Structures are given as structure tokens and as C-alpha cells.
Homo-oligomer: A and B are copies of this chain.
């Protein structure tokens, strides 16, 4: 017997970087999901099969042993080890588990892959041991895993992966979940350049320290733009939303977090009629997102590909973490 859980990836629609200082970030869960299937083991190992990333191995007493493929992103895997053990500790169970990880979310480009995998692990292990975990508990236990990767994350990523939908996050104010009852497609363009969120955040801080008289007004503008963007989203004012995405991209460029690769995809999208296009996440690589009328989606996607971006079409999803029991999957 085993248990499966899936959780969605996310995009940041507005507020990356400015959220560090002021105003909200607006996150959207998207219908690209990570899946984890958990099954029991007779030993105490946390065995992770991530064959689609080309490796498998196990943790035993916190130490990772590679079985197939190369050791890859040890910290990410450690997050799953921590999450699985936290769940079992919470349920008062001592056991090992197999975790079969499969994900449709590109890794390390700001689309919330690590949070989705962590949430799915937590939920799958909880289900495996009939833990009846609430979403609140899943998010909380996943956060323990996320901390292994990100140090002191905002808690936004594990929340959006748990609950889905739309989330407004503001420092000192907290999280607010919202729902959109209609579909709204976005095109994600992936530069395939990995980036370091920490380096980008530190770069903005250094720029601000040198030029507070200019950078602070930019951040204040971004803060009010993010709120205006959430309002436009909830009202489905797509033209307005596009304007605000374009304006936000310029302000993110001003902060020095865009790159020529990101801008090439942004301009490629706009050239074919995208209402708006901007980087999503920390910048310095990673992904951009474009909003377009349905009749232009194909053109915009093609243009992003012609500009050497990987593209995928996603929709906002209200579906957060989902769990089910399955039979005979993993022997």
C-alpha cells in the first residue's frame, strides 16, 4: 500500500524584491504539479527515487547515500528527508519510507518546485500513515523542510503549494488567500539560466544602500503597483493587468535583476501581442511570464520559443495539495 500526493507550482505575479521592503507579493498557484508517492519500508531509511532527474539514493541518520546517478542538489533532497521525518515524528511513528518523486515543474527557476515537492512529500507520508493531516499542518510541517533549503523562507511558497489559488503575502501583515473563479492562462518562458535568489536580493540591497533617494521611491511604487495588480486580477481587467506587468518589469530592471535573456523573452512576447510580460521570481535568470488574449497565445508562445526560451502554458489553479491512497505502486 502506498499514498500519493500532488501539489502545484507557482508564479509570482507581482512584488518580487519589493516585498522584502514594502508592500505585498502576489503569488498564483499554477496547474503544473509535483507528485510524490510514499510507501513504507522495513528499515529506517528515507529512500528517494527521483529518476526523472536522473538519480536515486537514501538518507539514513541524516546522511545521504547515492544509489543511482549523481548526487544532485543535496539540500533539496535533505528537505524531503526532514519533511518525511517531521511528519512521522508528529504522528509518533518510527519507520522508513520510499519517496517516488515526479514533477512537471521545472527546477531551480523560481516556479516553486522545491515547495511543491516538499508539500507533496509531507502530505503523502501523512496519508501513508493515516495521519489525517489538515492543510494547516501540512503547510507547517513542509515549512520545516523548506527551511533546510532556504534558511528562513517567507512561508509563502509552502502555503501556495498547500492551498493553491491566489495568495497575497506581505511582511508584518501575513498571508491572505484568495480565489479566482475563472481561468486565466499565462505563458511561462524559461531562460534555463539558474540563478541565486540570495545573490539577487543582496544586489538590490547594495543598490539601495548606495542610492536610497532613487531606490526607495521605486520600491514604494512597486508596492502600490502590486496591490493595484491584485485588484486588476480579481476584477479580471486583463489590459490593466498587462500594463502593470510591463511597468513592473521596467522597475525590476531598474533594480538590476533582469537579464538580457529575460528581456529577450519579454520583448518576444510583447512583439506578438502579449498584454504584458515580466520576469517572475528573483530574476538574474529563471523565468518570465506573459499574459495574452486567447487568440494570441499561440503566437506569443511561438515567439518566446524563437527567442530560445522554453515555454509552457499554465493556468491559475485553485487546487492545492491532493492526497489519495493507491495500491501496489512501489513494491
Residues of B within 8 A of A255 (CB): 250
| Copies of this protein, total | 2
Within A251-272, which residues are at the interface with B (CB < 8 Å)?
251-256, 258-260, 263-264, 267-268
Closest Cβ neighbor of A254 among chain B residues: B250
CA distance A268 to B259 in the complex (A): 11
Q: Find chain B residues with CB under 8 A from A246 CB.
A: 254, 256
**Chain A contact surface mostly:** helix
Interface residues of A in 216-252 (CB under 8 A from B): 217-218, 220-221, 224-225, 228, 240, 243-244, 246-252
Interface residues in A286-303 (C-beta closer than 8 Å to B): none
Q: How many residues does chain A have at the interface if contact means C-beta atoms less than 8 Å apart? A: 34
Question: In angstroms, how far is the closest chain B Cβ from the Cβ of A238?
Answer: 13
Contact: A250 with B247, CB < 8 Å? Answer: no
Whether A207 sits at the interface, judged by CB under 8 Å, is: yes
Tell me which residues from 48 to 100 in chain A have a Cβ below 8 Å from any Cβ of chain B.
none
A134 adjacent to chain B (CB < 8 Å): no
Q: How far is the CA of A210 from the CA of B275 in the complex (A)?
A: 14
- For A206, the closest partner residue in chain B by CB is B243
Known: A213-B224, A217-B221, A260-B264. 9 other contacts (CB 8 A): A214-B228, A217-B217, A248-B254, A249-B253, A250-B254, A250-B255, A253-B253, A254-B254, A263-B267
Q: Nearest 9 A-B pairs (CB), nearest first?
A: A250-B254, A250-B253, A260-B267, A217-B221, A263-B263, A247-B254, A253-B253, A214-B225, A214-B247
List 30 interface pairs A-B (beta carbons < 8 Å), by A numbering: A207-B247, A210-B243, A211-B228, A211-B240, A211-B243, A211-B247, A214-B221, A214-B224, A214-B225, A214-B228, A214-B244, A214-B247, A215-B247, A218-B221, A218-B247, A218-B250, A246-B254, A246-B256, A248-B254, A250-B250, A250-B253, A251-B251, A253-B253, A254-B254, A260-B263, A260-B264, A260-B267, A260-B268, A263-B263, A263-B267
